[in-house]
A and B are shown apart, each in its own frame.
Chain A
Amino acid sequence: AQSVAQPEDQVNVAEGNPLTVKCTYSVSGNPYLFWYVQYPNRGLQFLLKYITGDNLVKGSYGFEAEFNKSQTSFHLKKPSALVSDSALYFCAVSTSGTYKYIFGTGTRLKVLA
């Protein structure tokens, strides 16, 4: 069965510091991986996805993620955090032949001024 784990409920980082939000997955077959961000009282906004090819994926708002097949991870990163990045971040996975995303439990990112 497919699953996604976001091991940290909350991540705190100082403004200007690099940030990492962790995601690991378990699927049979090739994974398709997605990151979304949710601001309070808003829907989920798409940040980036990995389908195939280059393991480093660049997305919106300066975010990037690295696909690591051996570690079954897809961590979200940003070189320099902004206070406005504070939000709830979700990792999701799908795989060939399935039509749904499996979402992680979310990680709340808090960027401190």
Chain B
Amino acid sequence: DSGVTQTPKHLITATGQRVTLRCSPRSGDLSVYWYQQSLDQGLQFLIQYYNGEERAKGNILERFSAQQFPDLHSELNLSSLELGDSALYFCASSEGGGSTDTQYFGPGTRLTVL
């Protein structure tokens, strides 16, 4: 158990809908990362937050947004969902958010868009 929690575990929804994925980092970690894992794209970095501020952005679509709250938990919002958004979404956390930090991954949320 990494200490990173994600809810929900599974999410089934329809095209055009909006969903929110939630992540709680390990105790003491200030940085949160979001990744998308799909069969055709592999593991793709989406976005990173450090202590409430956006620090780095990857291949995140404009339909997707995230935030990190004062208690350091983070939410990833996915809107106008398409079939291709079906994937495993992972949250990771690290202590400082630097390049050498180890990122600890949560169990993931499996999103299925029908």
Of the stretches A12-20, A66-74, A94-102, the one at the interface is A94-102
User: A45 on the interface (CB 8 Å rule)?
Assistant: yes
Are A99 and B56 in contact, CB atoms less than 8 angstroms apart?
yes
A101 and B2 alpha carbons, distance in the complex (Å): 18
A94-B99 CB under 8 A given contacts A44-B90, A99-B56, A103-B42: yes
User: A63 on the interface (CB 8 Å rule)?
Assistant: no
Interface-central residue, B33, B99, B102, B107, by most chain A CB under 10 Å:
B99
Q: Chain A, 96-112, contact with B by CB distance < 8 Å: what is the 0/1 string?
A: 11111111111000000
User: B30 on the interface (CB 8 Å rule)?
Assistant: no
When distances are taken between beta carbons in the complex, the residues of chain A under 8 Å from B4 are: 43
User: B98 on the interface (CB 8 Å rule)?
Assistant: yes
When distances are taken between beta carbons in the complex, the residues of chain B under 8 Å from A32 are: 99-100
Interface size on B, residues (CB 8 A): 25
A42 and B50 alpha carbons, distance in the complex (Å): 25
A46-B104 CB under 8 A given contacts A95-B99, A100-B56: yes
A-contacting residues of B (Cβ < 8 Å)? 2, 4, 31, 33, 42-43, 45, 48, 50, 55-56, 58, 90, 92, 97-100, 102-108
A43-B4, A49-B100 provided; 20 other pairs, C-beta below 8 A? Answer: A32-B99, A32-B100, A34-B102, A36-B105, A42-B108, A43-B105, A43-B106, A43-B108, A44-B90, A45-B2, A49-B102, A94-B99, A98-B56, A99-B56, A99-B97, A100-B33, A100-B48, A100-B58, A105-B42, A106-B42
